[in-house]
Structure 1
C-alpha cells in the first residue's frame, strides 16, 4: 500500500477480538469493535530490516494497519486501544467504500518501561482514494519518516517554518486547541452573564487567553 516497497509488505489479518478480549476492556468499547469494524489487516512493517533506512533513536518500527469499517465513522477509542496493545508506532488507514482516511497520533515511550507508550492527539486526513493520500517516505532514518508521516497527515496543524521538534509542534497544537475551547466557553459565559462587573471580569480573562493564542500562533 501507499507505494511502499514490497519488502515492507506483511498483509496479515488480525482478529479484531485480539484487541478487546482482555477482561479490563469496557463492554462499551468491545461493542464498538464489533459494530464499527469489519476486519483489520497488518499491511506493512517499516523497519531497518524491511527498507533501506537507518535506525531511529525513538522509533524502531512503523506498522501500517488497514481497518475496514462498517460505516464512515470510527470511535477514536478503538485506535487508542490498538495503540495501547501494540508497542510500536502505527499508521492507521481506515477504509470505507473504496476511500481511505489516514490516522495517526504522536506516540512516545512513557518512561515507565514494559513497552508502555503515551498516545496524544489523533490527526487524520479527509476521505481520499489511496493514490491521493499525502503520505510518502521522506527521510534517512525511521524517526524522520515517522515525523513526516505525522506532519503530512496533520497538514496545517503541525506545519512550521522553524526547526522545532515534532513533540514541540504537537504540544503547541494541543495548547492551541485548549485555548480555543477555553475562549469559546468564556465567550458563551459573557453572552449569558447579566451582571456588568462579572462581564468585565470575564472579558479580562478572555483578553488574556486571546493574547496567549495570538502569540502562540505567531511562533
Structure 2
C-alpha cells in the first residue's frame, strides 16, 4: 500500500478477535472492537531487513495496519491500546467505503518497563483516496522515516520552527498550543456569560495574555 516497496509487503489478515482475546482490555474497549472494526490487515513491515534503510536508534520496525471500519468513526482509545501492546511503531490506515485516513501517534519507549511504550497524541489526515494520502517513504534510517510520516500526517501542526528542531520538540510545542487554545476558548466562553463589567475587564486581560503566549509559540 501507499507505494511502499514490495519487499515490505506482509498482507496478513488478523481477525479482530486475536486482538481483544490476547490483550488486556476492558469490556468497553472490546465493545469498540466488535462494533466499530470490521477487519484488520497487517499490510507492511518496514525494517532494515525489508528495505535498504539503516536501523534507527528509537525505531526498529514500523508496521502498517489497515483497519477496515463498519462506520466512519473510530474511538482512538482502540488505536492507543494496540500501540501500547505492540512493541513497534505503527502507521494505521483506516478504511471506510474506499476512502482512507492515515493515523499515527507519537510513540516513545517508557522508562517503567522493558519493551513498554507510552503513546501521546495522535495525528490524522482527512478521508482521502489511497493515492491522495500525503505519505512518502523518506529518510535514510527508520527514525527519520517514522518522523517524516508523523510530520506528513500532521501537516502544518508540526512544521519545524528551526532546522535542528527534533520531533519531540515539535510535538511538545504543538501540545502547548493546543492547551493554550483550549484555555482561550474556555475563557472566551466565560467572558460571553459574564455580566459584571469589572469582571469582564479582568477576564479580557487574562485572555490577552493567553493570546500573546499562543502567538509567541507560532512565531518562535
Unaligned runs of 5+ in 1: none
CA distance in 1, matches of 2:133, 2:114: 34
Q: Are residue 113 (structure 1) and residue 88 (structure 2) matched?
A: no
CA distance in 2, matches of 1:11, 1:64: 10
Report the equivalent of 2:152.
Answer: 152
CA contact (8 A) 1:19 1:85 kept: no
Helix, strand or coil for the counterpart of 1:170?
helix
Helix, strand or coil for the counterpart of 1:2?
coil
CA change 1:37–1:144 in 2 (3 A) is: same
CA distance in 2, matches of 1:23, 1:111: 21
Report the equivalent of 2:127.
Answer: 127
Report the equivalent of 2:71.
Answer: 71
CA contact (8 A) 2:23 2:85 kept: no
Report the equivalent of 1:191.
Answer: 192
In the TM superposition, residue 35 of structure 1 has moved relative to its aligned partner by 0.6
TM-score normalised to structure 1 length: 0.96
In the TM superposition, residue 123 of structure 1 has moved relative to its aligned partner by 0.6
Helix, strand or coil for the counterpart of 1:138?
coil
In the TM superposition, residue 127 of structure 1 has moved relative to its aligned partner by 1.1
CA distance in 2, matches of 1:4, 1:23: 29
CA contact (8 A) 2:83 2:119 kept: yes
Helix, strand or coil for the counterpart of 2:72?
coil
CA distance in 1, matches of 2:138, 2:104: 17
Report the equivalent of 1:179.
Answer: 180
CA distance in 2, matches of 1:9, 1:23: 25
CA change 1:98–1:10 in 2 (3 A) is: same
CA distance in 2, matches of 1:140, 1:113: 29
CA distance in 1, matches of 2:33, 2:16: 7
CA contact (8 A) 2:184 2:207 kept: yes
May I ask how many residue pairs the two structures share in their alignment? 219
Deviation digits for residues 40-80 of structure 1, max 9, x if unmatched?
01110000011000111111110000000011111111111
Report the equivalent of 1:203.
Answer: 204
CA distance in 1, matches of 2:160, 2:114: 33
Deviates more, 1:197-206 or 1:169-178: 197-206
CA contact (8 A) 2:9 2:43 kept: yes
In the TM superposition, residue 99 of structure 1 has moved relative to its aligned partner by 1.2
